[in-house]
Structure 1
Amino acid sequence: MQTSVTFKNLDPSDNLKDYICEKLDKLDKYLDNPAEATVVLLIEKFRHIAEVNITGDRLSIYGKEETNDMYSAVDMVADKLEIQIKKNKQKIRKRRVNHKDKSITGDHEISLSDEESSVGQIEIRNIEYKPMDIEEAAMQMDLVNDNFLVFTNSRSEKINVLYRRKDGNYGLIQPIS
């Protein structure tokens, strides 16, 4: 984590700066991308105040603590920031799961108008597909005993459809780019 430390009303100390960097580097394990931390340490009369602002990884987190000792203020603000980062990450994960659940709604049927009734009703089924090669897809199709299987070809990274032909052999539909 890239950290900038500003000292107000106290002498700059390499020990204190190293201590802050060590505490904030422990928070890096909760972040997916590099982040920047701006730290302001100041003393007002008998109060030692530590303010930390972390920006990056699509979030901005601010923490401020004041005590009688600068090291304890840094410890307390680091604990506060860790809780905030965990809470934000958990909220993002929860949103992703909820969004994924809403997009997979199950089977549907669509009724067509009189002009289109020669086709009949169309059943819409949402499926999940995963990367695999053609041989693995054929084995998967035999296990499930389906007539077709939609999968992502691991070699071409495109969506393919493997289907069982009337003669018992397999057919493969793959897009041309």
Structure 2
Amino acid sequence: MKITIVGRKVNLRDNFKELAEKKLSKFDRIFDEDAEATVTVTVERNRQTVEITIKQRGMIYRAEETTQEMNEALDHVVAALGKQIRRNKTKLERTKKMQPVELTDTYYDEPDEEYQLVRTKRFFVKVMTPEEAILQMNLLGHEFFMFRDDVSGEINVVYRRKDGDYGLLVPDIKA
């Protein structure tokens, strides 16, 4: 797995980089050599956020944790990624025809979760700008809103982020 470590508003020490690489090496038996992991560390005031994103064959695993200690946040993020991988292991094997993986770490002990689709909702997708979509989303009190972009004509989604800002999801046919 290729690991990239990025520090935002902080210069990362070598011992943290080595610790991050060591903890991510647990996932080497699960992911191929072409998998890409990005560790992003952001420091704001007395809060330190560690975010890890692992991409492989179109699948994305992502976890983020904010604590006062960078190493503690790293531990929580690695544990959360392990849980995601464990939870989705059988589904991924079925859909991607991956080789079976033996997961034995302590935070992999959760049972497989079955997904149940309980509702399908259909609605007309209006043509609008992202700003209009954010306004409509806020008026409805939703966390996300799907619309057709007025410039590209593509289906896009605006969403409210944890930090209160907004995000825009745009389809990318290259992936």
**TM-score normalised by L of structure 2:** 0.50
Q: Which amino acid aligns with 1:79?
A: A
Q: Which amino acid aligns with 1:21?
A: E
CA contact (8 A) 2:52 2:62 kept: yes
Q: Which residue of structure 2 aligns with residue 16 of structure 1?
A: 16
Q: Which residue of structure 1 aligns with residue 59 of structure 2?
A: 59
What is the CA–CA distance in structure 2 between the aligned matches of 1:85 and 1:62, rounded to whole Å? 10
Could you list the per-position Cα deviations for residues 58-98 of structure 1 after superposition, in whole angstroms to 9, with x for gaps in the alignment? 4111110011100010010001011111222221335689x
Q: Which amino acid aligns with 1:47?
A: R
Q: Which residue of structure 1 aligns with residue 74 of structure 2?
A: 74
Q: Which amino acid aligns with 1:35?
A: A
What is the CA–CA distance in structure 2 between the aligned matches of 1:51 and 1:92, rounded to whole Å? 22
What is the CA–CA distance in structure 2 between the aligned matches of 1:88 and 1:34, rounded to whole Å? 20
Deviation at 1:30, TM superposition (A): 2.2
Q: SS of the residue aligned with 1:62? A: strand
Gaps (5+ residues) in structure 1?
A: 98-177
In the alignment, structure 1 residue 26 sits paired with structure 2 residue 29: no
Pairwise CA RMSD of aligned residues?
2.0
Q: Residues 112-131 of structure 1 correspond to what in structure 2 (within 5 A)?
A: none
Q: Which residue of structure 1 aligns with residue 47 of structure 2?
A: 47
CA contact (8 A) 2:2 2:33 kept: no
Structure with bigger strand share is: 1
Rg (Cα) greater in structure: 1
Deviation at 1:56, TM superposition (A): 0.6
**TM-score normalised by L of structure 1:** 0.50
Q: SS of the residue aligned with 2:10? A: coil
Identity rate of aligned residues, in percent? 31
Gaps (5+ residues) in structure 2?
A: 98-175
Q: SS of the residue aligned with 1:40? A: strand
Q: Which amino acid aligns with 1:63?
A: A
Deviation at 1:22, TM superposition (A): 0.7
